[in-house]
Amino acid sequence: MDAPPVKGFVPRAPSPTQSSPPVDAGAVHDRALGSYLGLAIGDALGATTEFMRPAEIRAKFGLHKNIVGGGWLRLRQGAVTDDTQMALYLGEAILESNGMNAKNVADKFIAWMRAKPPDIGGTIRRSLQMYLVDGRLVAEESEYSAGNGAAMRILPTVLASLYDPGKMRAWTLEQAHVTHNNAESDGGTLILAELTRLAIVYGQSAPLHTAARSFFEIFPAFDHKLYKGDADGYIVNTVRTVLHYFFNTRDFESCLLGIVNQGGDADTNGAIAGMIAGAFYGPSAIPTRWLARLDPKVKSQIENQTRELLAKFHPATNSEIFL
């Protein structure tokens, strides 16, 4: 069976007005949680088909649609990989430092690396080893660092800067440069961070379309209309893959099924798509069969960290937050 057909993207609600609508803090918390759970679920679901080709996935699963573990990492059912783990470590660093502190971020990543994670990307390993050698907090600039490893872990940075795009941009790049110092990585990471931020704050499609269009004017290579099925870990292909399935499906499940059945860097593309779609559609749109299989320890870490980040960085009540 083929992956589900891609349907036209239908905006769910009118765009926000220019008159600074109040933000419903309860709804924002809900969407933030949907985003973090979506990230972990995309990771756990996609890890099974990482590095496979679509034809291999069809031959083995028909349609890959359940969290079953396995894959090249031989994961147990419900386990997550570096994408979710690095986000959680980054979130811990942000909470401890009360903001962005690149040294604390690097130290957390080192602690994660020493805990022997199931996988670690080559660029990340090299950069962290250089940090251990000379303490550098900005990785060496390299044309070979255009992978999606800086983008996959951005969510806690976004959650700590939801109402301040300037801070979101600065913190996103600061954490990115600890391991990835590359213009394409920067551009793609910023696009994905801003779309996630807008999905959490508004939960509406119009701001996402507007933001995507304006990014494509600056970085035309990221336009998902150029997507031709390449779903590897190159940041340009990741952005195209994620946005193609997000903008051309109408619910969380279809978006994620489309992505993970494309193979390639399926866990990372699934995690990033889950982060945006989970925010946009909210946690109630995540299939219960997926939520029920997610590692309960990871689920509770996500619930706690989401609550702590929002409480620390956005303590205002509903009536106090206006955009």
Pick one of 268, 301, 305, 306: the residue that binds Mg ion (CB under 5 A): 268
Residue nearest to Mg ion (CB): 81
Number of residues that bind Mg ion (CB under 5 A): 6
Residue 81 vs 123, nearer CB to Mg ion: 81
Residue 75 vs 162, nearer CB to Mg ion: 75
Contact track, Mg ion, 65-94, x by CB under 5 A: ----------------xxx-----------
How many CA atoms are closer than 13 Å to the CA of 290, on its beta-carbon side? 26
Give the residue among 6, 61, 33, 84 at the shortest CA–CA distance from 241.
Answer: 6
Give the residue among 113, 178, 99 at the shortest CA–CA distance from 145.
Answer: 178
What sign does the CA torsion over 254, 256, 257, 262 have?
A: positive
Q: How far is the CB of 242 from Mg ion (least distance, A)?
A: 13
Per CB under 5 A, which region of 8-16, 200-208, 266-274, 289-297 contacts Mg ion? 266-274
Residue 73 vs 243, nearer CB to Mg ion: 73
Residue 92 vs 267, nearer CB to Mg ion: 267
Per CB under 5 A, which region of 159-167, 184-192, 258-266, 314-322 contacts Mg ion? 258-266
Q: How far is the CB of 189 from Mg ion (least distance, A)?
A: 15
Residue 75 vs 168, nearer CB to Mg ion: 75
Q: How far is the CB of 49 from Mg ion (least distance, A)?
A: 11
In this structure, the dihedral spanned by the alpha carbons of residues 202, 206, 207 and 212, taken in order and rounded to 10 degrees, is 140
Please name the residue ranges forming H helices in the chain: 25-46, 54-61, 82-97, 102-114, 122-134, 155-159, 165-177, 183-202, 205-218, 235-247, 252-260, 266-281, 288-291, 296-313
SS3 70: strand
Q: How far is the CB of 83 from Mg ion (least distance, A)?
A: 4
The answer to whether the beta carbons of residues 176 and 139 sit under 8 Å apart is no
Residue 152 vs 257, nearer CB to Mg ion: 152
Residue 152 vs 279, nearer CB to Mg ion: 152
Q: How far is the CB of 43 from Mg ion (least distance, A)?
A: 6
Q: Return the residue matching tokens 């193609």.
A: 244
Q: Is 267 in the site for Mg ion (CB under 5 A)?
A: yes
Q: Is 30 in the site for Mg ion (CB under 5 A)?
A: no
Q: How far is the CB of 121 from Mg ion (least distance, A)?
A: 7
Residue 86 vs 201, nearer CB to Mg ion: 86
Please name the residue ranges forming H helices in 227-287: 235-247, 252-260, 266-281
Burial class of 99 by CB neighbour count within 10 A (0 to 12, 13 to 18, 19+): middle
Per CB under 5 A, which region of 179-187, 257-265, 296-304, 312-320 contacts Mg ion? 257-265
Q: How far is the CB of 77 from Mg ion (least distance, A)?
A: 16
Q: Is 265 in the site for Mg ion (CB under 5 A)?
A: yes
Instruction: Write the CA distances from 54 to 4, 73, 235, 312, integer angstroms.
Output: 13, 18, 20, 43
Instruction: Write the CA distances from 165 to 157, 196, 201, 250, 289, integer angstroms.
Output: 11, 12, 12, 27, 35
SS3 147: strand
Q: How far is the CB of 210 from Mg ion (least distance, A)?
A: 30
Q: How far is the CB of 75 from Mg ion (least distance, A)?
A: 10
Interface positions with Mg ion (CB under 5 A): 81-83, 265, 267-268
